[in-house]
Amino acid sequence: MTSFPGLERLVPDYVKSFEVYIPSKPDDELKKLYGCSKLYRLNNNENPLGPPETARRALQAFDPAQASIYPSGDCYHLRRKLGDIFGMRPDQFLAGNGANEVIGFAIKAFCRQGDNIITADKTFAVYEWVARFSGFEARLVPLVDYGFDAPGMIERIDERTKLVFVCNPNNPTGSWWDQRTLRWFLDRVDGRCIVVVDEAYREFVENPDFPDSMALIANYPNLVVFRTFSKMYGLAGLRIGYLAGSKEVVDIIRRTCVVYSVNTLAQVGAFSALDDREHVARTRESVSSGKGFLLKELGLMGLPCVHGEGNFVMTRLPISDSLAYRKMMTRGVMVRTMTGFRFPNWIRITVSHREALEAFAEALSKILREGREF
C-alpha cells in the first residue's frame, strides 16, 4: 500500500512520462559488481592529466576552515577574471554548478507553456531532457553527415521557439561549425530566438576556423556561449561551468539562477586553472597522440569510427553496445554506450592515457574475437 495515495494527482503528465536518470555507481561498487580489480574510466571524457598545476596548488592550499563560510554567491572573482581574458564585462558571465545547471537557467528564463527549443536528435541529451521535464517541446533536427544541420534547424524555428542549442563541437560525433557557418546561422535566426552554443570541448580544438564565439557576442546579442571546467580543466568533480552573453540577455538569465550553487572549492579551482599556460597545450598533445593510437587500433579491428574535435572517438560495434559495455566492464574498462544518444551499437571512448587505451584495445579485441568464435 502506498503511503501517499494522492501523489499521482499532483504529478504533471510530462514528469510522469520522464525517465529517472540513473548515474553510474561509484568505482568501488562497480569493481565489485563486475569482478574487476582495476577500472579504466573511458566513459565521461574526463581529462586523464587531471586539473592544471595551478589549480592543484590552489586546491591543496585551501584552508578547511573556509568550508564554514558561504561561497561567493555569484562567483565574483571568477567572473572578473573571465572578463579580463575575453575582453568582456564581468556581468556578461554567469557561473553554475556545472554547465548542466546553466542549461536549466537559460530554459527557465525564456520558456513558458507552449514554447519550444530546437536541437539535434543525436547530441548531448541534457538540452532535450531539461526542456521535456520542464514541460516544453524539444524539436529534434536529425544530424546530417554526423553534423548539426544549420538549414534544417532554421526551418524548424517558429514564433514559439525560444532557444536553439548547438553543441559545438558536437558530443558525441566531434563535428563542428566553423566561423562562417555559425555566422550564417545567426544571420538567418536574425534575433528571433536565443542561440546557445555549447562549447564544452572548445579548448580541445586547434583548428583556426573554429568560431570565436565570445567575440561574436558583440555583434549578436542573442548568442549565448556555454563553457565548462569539467573537460579540459579537469575539475569535473567540483562541478563548475559558466555561460557568457550580452549583458541584457545574461541579466535575464541571472533572474532564474540559483545563487550560491557553486561551492568555494570549485571557484578556487576554476579561478586558478585559468592561470596555467601549459595545461591546454599538454592536454592537446596527449589527446592527439592518444587519438592516433585509438584510431589505428580500431582500424585494425575493422570498426568504423566517427571523430572530429574533442577528446573522444565513437565507433560502431557488431554487437549491442550495452552488451559490449558489460563485457568491457568485466575486463576493467568502462566506455559510454551510445544508445542513449540514439546511436545504437556505437560506443564512445574517451581519449585517455596510453595505458588505459591499450587496456581498452586489448579488451575490445578479445570480445570481438570471442563473438566471432561463438
Partner 1 sequence: MRRESGKLLLSVDAEEVFLPVVTAFVEKAASCFGLRTDESLRLTLAAEEVFIYLCRKTTYSGGPLQIACSNGGYFAQAVFSLPTDSFDLKAFNVTAAISLEDDAELDSMGLVIASRSVDRFTLGREKGGELRLTLIKEKSYPPLPSQVEPAVTAALSRPILRSPAPEEIKFISRLAVSYYDTCALSDILLHPGKLTDMITAGEYDCLAAAGESGEIGGAIFWRRLGENMVECFGPYVFNQPTPSAISEDLVDGCIGAVARSTAVGIINIGPPPGFPGGRFELLGTFDSYGPDRTSTAVEAWFRMLSEDTGATVWVHPDLDAFIRREYARLVLPREIRVDRPSGETLPHHSVLCAEFDRPRGRVTLRPMWPGADAAENIMRHLKLMKTENIPDIHFAVDLGQAWQTVFIPGLLGSGFEPRFVLPYAGKGDVVVFQHGVNRQ
Binding site for partner 1 (CB under 8 A): 1-2, 5, 17-20, 22, 24-25, 29-30, 33-34, 121-122, 125, 128-129, 318-320, 322-323, 325-327, 329-330, 337, 339-345
* Cα separation, 258 vs 224, whole angstroms: 18
Instruction: Tell me how far CA of residue 101 lies from CA of 35, 338, 368, in angstroms.
Output: 35, 23, 39
Comparison of 12 and 340: residue with beta carbon closer to partner 1: 340
CB of 171 to partner 1, least distance (A): 15
With beta carbons less than 8 A apart as the criterion, state whether 143 and 149 touch. yes
CB of 90 to partner 1, least distance (A): 37
Burial of 137 (0-12, 13-18, 19+ CB in 10 A): middle
CB of 126 to partner 1, least distance (A): 11
- Spell out the alpha helix ranges (H) of the chain: 7-10, 13-16, 27-34, 53-60, 76-86, 99-110, 126-133, 150-156, 179-189, 213-216, 247-254, 264-273, 279-300, 321-330, 354-373
CB of 20 to partner 1, least distance (A): 8
- For 181-230, where are the E strands, in sequence order? 194-198, 223-228
CB of 366 to partner 1, least distance (A): 13
**SS3 label, residue 9:** helix
Comparison of 58 and 107: residue with beta carbon closer to partner 1: 107
Comparison of 258 and 319: residue with beta carbon closer to partner 1: 319
Comparison of 123 and 272: residue with beta carbon closer to partner 1: 123
Comparison of 92 and 100: residue with beta carbon closer to partner 1: 100
CB of 213 to partner 1, least distance (A): 27
**H helix or E strand, kind and range, residue 334:** strand 333-337
CB of 91 to partner 1, least distance (A): 36
Comparison of 175 and 337: residue with beta carbon closer to partner 1: 337
Comparison of 202 and 348: residue with beta carbon closer to partner 1: 348
- Strand-pairing partners, residue 333, are 40
Residue 12 has phi, psi (to 5 degrees) of: -65, 150
Locate 356 and state its grid cell: 588505459
